[in-house]
Amino acid sequence: ADCLALFRSTRERDNMVTPLVKHKIVKKRTLKFKRFQSDRKVTVKESWRKPRGIDGRFRRKFKGLPPHPNVGYGSNKKTRHLLPNGFLKFVVHNVADLDLLLMHNRKYCAEVAHNVSAQNRKAIVERAQQLNVNVINKSAKLRSEEDE
């Protein structure tokens, strides 16, 4: 039984679309830049804001203070917006949008928009299988046969 399951999984993997080139994604910094003193004051949230105080030591970049976000932390142009599976994301709202990916199925994968109904979603996923396009959220909003 294990051998059969292994065979099925390898066969499904072979049928699945793979990206044309798989670049290794290297992040220069994985930590989020936190707003200065967000750990001290409840009213100061963690989301980054540029410090603008006239005498602020953080704005003046004194020694021993956390780093500021700047252009040097940018990603490699080749791997920018790349998903871990090696594809770029393309949001699809209907079946016609899917036809745009016909020639680009090795570079882009489809993501069905959040406001698409279950019925249209099913049609999109079926068409994607015919066009050999990878759909990230193909199992979203799907109910099993027994529920219906």
Q: Looking at this protein, which amino acid is placed at residue 3?
A: C
Residue pair 140/133 in contact by the 8 Å Cβ criterion: no
The model's confidence at residue 143, banded by pLDDT at 50, 70 and 90, is: confident
* Res. 11: pLDDT tops 50: no
Residue 123, class by beta-carbon neighbours within 10 Å (0-12 exposed, 13-18 middle, 19+ buried)?
Answer: middle
User: How many CB atoms neighbour CB 141 within 10 A?
Assistant: 14
pTM of the model: 0.75
Which has the closest alpha carbon to 25: 106, 83, 110? Answer: 83
E strand intervals along the chain: 88-92, 108-112
Q: Looking at this protein, which amino acid is placed at residue 133?
A: V
Q: Which residues pair with 88 in a beta bridge?
A: 82, 108
pLDDT tens sequence across 17-52 = 898 888 999 999 999 999 999 999 999 999 999 999
* Res. 128: pLDDT tops 70: yes
